[in-house]
Amino acid sequence: MTTGQRTYGETALLTPANMMTAFRLLVAPVFIYLIVVHRISWWTTVVGFLAAASDYFDGIVARRHGTTRSGAFLDPLADKVLVLGALYALILARPHGLTSFLAPAVIITVREVWMSFYRSRAARRGISIPASKLAKWKTFVQDWAIALCVIPVTAHYPMIGEVTIWVAAAMTIYTGWQYYVDGRRLGNRAR
């Protein structure tokens, strides 16, 4: 659904929204590198903020100009690369390992792999499972959990990031269940 006039067709590849998503994919390795090497720094914070901002704005632009199939694939891929890469980089970068992030990182990884498999299987049957508002909030909370671990003002209080990542993990489980239920309902309607 679009809020404006459709500028690009569903099969368009080179759209402004996709360019912002491509930017996020390109900046993700830089962000991950900065976490591993410098973790707590303003440079890491700025690069992470730019990546998160591109996620926010590509959604606005896509709704304004029309969503595309390539964007529907690339946007969640960029989110996964950025969030999972950053979580595992935080685990590596912590002096004693951010072991409290390991379980949430595994939970989030398993859910994302399962969700990719589930959505692609549904798509082969002609079923599209749209992203829910809560799933978008889940990504927002994941981004903030990571940010709280690299922003110099908050990074020295690890409990803040740890609590936030556990909230994100709980949201991840719930939204995964929500997608499953929605997919089953849509599949039953399609029969």
Tokens of 183: 């997919």
Half-sphere exposure in the Cβ direction for 41 (13 Å, CA):
14
Q: Which of 62, 57, 55, 77 is nearest to 147 (CA)?
A: 55
Share of the chain above pLDDT 70, in %: 89
Predicted confidence (pLDDT) per residue in 43-102, tens digit: 999 999 999 888 888 878 777 777 777 777 788 888 889 999 999 999 988 755 556 788
Is residue 174 in some structural domain?
yes
Identity at 103, one-letter amino acid code: A
33 within domain boundaries: yes
Q: What is the pLDDT of residue 17?
A: 79
Asked, for residue 22, whether it belongs to a domain, the answer is yes
Q: Is pLDDT larger for residue 169 or for residue 55?
A: 169
Tokens 């704005």 correspond to what residue?
A: 57
- Report if residue 3 sits inside a domain: no
List the domain range (segments joined by +) for residue 122. Answer: 16-190
Per the domain annotation, does 102 fall within a domain?
Answer: yes
pTM: 0.84
Q: How many domains, the chain? A: 1
The domain that holds 33 is classified in CATH as 1.20.120.1760
